[in-house]
Structure 1
Amino acid sequence: MLGRLFVVMPVTFSKKVSPRHWMAYIDPEELNPQNPSIFISSPASAAVGCYGFQLYVFKQGVKKTSAFSKFTLLCNPWCREDAVYIPFEDQREEYIQNDSGLLFVGTSKNIVSRPWSFDQFEPGVLEACLNLLQVSPQHQKNRNMDYLNRNNPIYISRVVSAMINSKDDRGVLTGKWDGSFKDGVNPSLWTGSGDVLTQWAESGYSPVKYGQCWVFAAVMCTVMRVLGIPCRVITNFNSAHDTNDNLVIEEYYSETGQKLKHSNDSIWNFHVWVECWMSRRDVGPGMDGWQVLDPTPQERSGGVFCCGPAPVKAVKDRRIDLFFDIPFVYAEVNADVHAFVVSEGRVVSHSKDTERVGSLIYTKAVGVHRHQNITGDYKSIKSPSSTLSGSSAAMSEDSTLSRGSGMVVLLDLGKVPIAGEPVHFTVKVMNKHRVAKRMKVHLNAQAKEYNHSPSDTFWESHGVVQLAPMEVKVIHQQILPAEYENVVGDDVINLAVVLEDLASHERVLASEEFNIASPQLTIEIANADSVVLRKEQAAIVTFTNTFSHPVSGVLTVAGAGLIQGKVNFRMLPLRPGGSVMQRITFIPTKWGTKMLQARLSLSDINSAIRGFKMVLVCRA
Structure 2
Amino acid sequence: MSRKRMYIPLLENNLTINYRCQSPLYKSRNVSFHLHCLPAGFRMQQVELEIEENLQRHRTAGFSHSKTLVVRRGAPFRVSLPMKNSPFDPSADTLRVKVMLGRLYVNMPVTLPENSPSSRWAAFVDPEGLDVTNPSVYICAPFSASVGCYSFKVSAFAQDKLKFRASSKFILLCNPWCHDDSVYIPFEDQRVEYIQNDSSLLFMGTATNVVSRPWSMDQFEPGVLEACLNLLNVSPQHQRNKRMDYLYRNNPVYISRVVSAMINCEDDGGVLKGNWSGDFSGGVHASMWTGSGDILRSWAQSGYQPVKYGQCWVFAAVMCTVMRVLGIPCRVVTNFNSAHDTNGNLVIEEFYNEMGKKLKSTKDSIWNFHVWVECWMTRRDLGSDADGWQALDPTPQHRSRGVFCCGPAPVKAIKERRIDLFYDIPFVYAEVNADVHTCVVSQGRVVSRSVDTERVGPLICTKSVGFPRLYNITGDYKNIKSHFSTLSSNSSSRSESSTLRRGTSKLAAILTLDKPPVAGMVIHITLKVINRQRVAKVMKVHVNAQIKEYNNSPAETFWENHSTIQLGPLEVKVLKQQIYPGQYEDVVGDDLVNLAAVLEDMATHERVLAFEEFNVAIPELVIQIEGEDKLALNREHGASVTFTNPFSHPVSGVLSVSGAGLLQGHANFKMFPLRPGGSGKQRITFVPSMTGTKMLQASLTLSNKSTVRGFKMVSIQPL
Same fold per TM (> 0.5)? yes
Partners of 1:108 and 1:360 within 8 A in 2? yes
The amino acid across from 1:139 in the alignment is H
Partners of 1:242 and 1:248 within 8 A in 2? yes
Say whether 1:479 aligns with 2:604. Answer: no
Residue in 2 aligned with 1:428? 528
The amino acid across from 1:240 in the alignment is A
Residue in 2 aligned with 1:548? 648
Over residues 377-410 of structure 1, what are the superposed CA-to-partner deviations in whole Å (9 max), with x where a residue is unaligned?
Answer: 000011339xxxxxxx994499676212311111
Change (3 A) 1:484 1:121: same
Say whether 1:453 aligns with 2:521. Answer: no
- 1:499-578 superposed matches below 5 A: 499-578=599-678
Could you list the runs of 5+ residues in structure 1 that have no partner in the other structure? 386-392
Q: Distance in 1 between matches of 2:383 and 2:208?
A: 38
Partners of 1:525 and 1:540 within 8 A in 2? yes
Q: Distance in 2 between matches of 1:198 and 1:2?
A: 24
Partners of 1:531 and 1:616 within 8 A in 2? yes
- 1:343-492 superposed matches below 5 A: 343-384=442-483, 395-396=495-496, 402-492=502-592
The amino acid across from 1:578 in the alignment is G
What displacement does 1:30 show?
2.7
From 589, 592, 595, the equivalent of 1:495 is 595
Residue in 1 aligned with 2:349? 250
Partners of 1:336 and 1:354 within 8 A in 2? yes
What displacement does 1:535 show?
1.2
Over residues 45-104 of structure 1, what are the superposed CA-to-partner deviations in whole Å (9 max), with x where a residue is unaligned?
Answer: 000000010112211112223221000000000001100000010100100000001000
Residue correspondences, number: 612
Q: Which runs of 4+ in 1 moved over 4 A?
A: 397-401
The amino acid across from 1:94 in the alignment is E
Q: What percent identity do the matched residue pairs reach?
A: 67
What displacement does 1:26 show?
1.3
Q: Distance in 1 between matches of 2:502 and 2:259?
A: 44
Partners of 1:487 and 1:493 within 8 A in 2? no
Q: Distance in 2 between matches of 1:50 and 1:383?
A: 50
Residue in 2 aligned with 1:291? 390
Over residues 211-250 of structure 1, what are the superposed CA-to-partner deviations in whole Å (9 max), with x where a residue is unaligned?
Answer: 1000000000000000000000000000000011000000
The amino acid across from 2:558 in the alignment is F
From 105, 113, 129, the equivalent of 1:6 is 105
The amino acid across from 2:483 in the alignment is P
Over residues 100-147 of structure 1, what are the superposed CA-to-partner deviations in whole Å (9 max), with x where a residue is unaligned?
Answer: 010001111110000011011111111110110000000000000000
What displacement does 1:441 show?
0.3
Residue in 1 aligned with 2:238? 139
Change (3 A) 1:401 1:483: farther
- 1:201-220 superposed matches below 5 A: 201-220=300-319
From 209, 213, 227, the equivalent of 1:110 is 209
Residue in 2 aligned with 1:389? none
Residue in 2 aligned with 1:322? 421
1:8 aligns to what SS in structure 2? strand
Partners of 1:213 and 1:273 within 8 A in 2? yes
Say whether 1:234 aligns with 2:327. Answer: no
Partners of 1:17 and 1:23 within 8 A in 2? no
What displacement does 1:486 show?
2.3
Over residues 262-321 of structure 1, what are the superposed CA-to-partner deviations in whole Å (9 max), with x where a residue is unaligned?
Answer: 111000000000000000121133110000000000011011000000000000000001
TM-score (normalised: structure 1): 0.97
Partners of 2:450 and 2:501 within 8 A in 1? no
From 178, 183, 193, the equivalent of 1:84 is 183
2:381 aligns to what SS in structure 1? helix
1:486 aligns to what SS in structure 2? coil
Over residues 478-522 of structure 1, what are the superposed CA-to-partner deviations in whole Å (9 max), with x where a residue is unaligned?
Answer: 111111112322101000000100000000101110000012100
Residue in 2 aligned with 1:601? 701
Over residues 418-453 of structure 1, what are the superposed CA-to-partner deviations in whole Å (9 max), with x where a residue is unaligned?
Answer: 100111011111111212110000101100000000
Change (3 A) 1:515 1:39: same
The amino acid across from 2:316 in the alignment is A
What displacement does 1:15 show?
4.5
Partners of 2:199 and 2:214 within 8 A in 1? yes
Change (3 A) 1:484 1:400: farther
What displacement does 1:606 show?
2.4
The amino acid across from 1:524 in the alignment is Q
Q: Distance in 1 between matches of 2:697 and 2:654?
A: 14
Q: Distance in 1 between matches of 2:391 and 2:525?
A: 37
Q: Distance in 1 between matches of 2:191 and 2:316?
A: 19
Q: Distance in 2 between matches of 1:613 and 1:15?
A: 47
Q: Distance in 1 between matches of 2:494 and 2:649?
A: 38
Over residues 347-382 of structure 1, what are the superposed CA-to-partner deviations in whole Å (9 max), with x where a residue is unaligned?
Answer: 000001000100100000101010100000000011
Q: Distance in 1 between matches of 2:524 and 2:496?
A: 16
What displacement does 1:12 show?
1.4
Residue in 2 aligned with 1:98? 197
Q: Distance in 1 between matches of 2:413 and 2:227?
A: 33
Change (3 A) 1:406 1:262: same
The amino acid across from 1:440 in the alignment is K
Residue in 2 aligned with 1:390? none
Partners of 1:445 and 1:458 within 8 A in 2? yes
From 441, 448, 459, the equivalent of 1:342 is 441
Q: Distance in 2 between matches of 1:574 and 1:178?
A: 31
Residue in 1 aligned with 2:360? 261
Say whether 1:172 aligns with 2:271. Answer: yes
> RMSD over aligned Cα, in angstroms?
1.4
Over residues 463-488 of structure 1, what are the superposed CA-to-partner deviations in whole Å (9 max), with x where a residue is unaligned?
Answer: 10011111111110011111111232
The amino acid across from 2:454 in the alignment is E
The amino acid across from 2:418 in the alignment is R
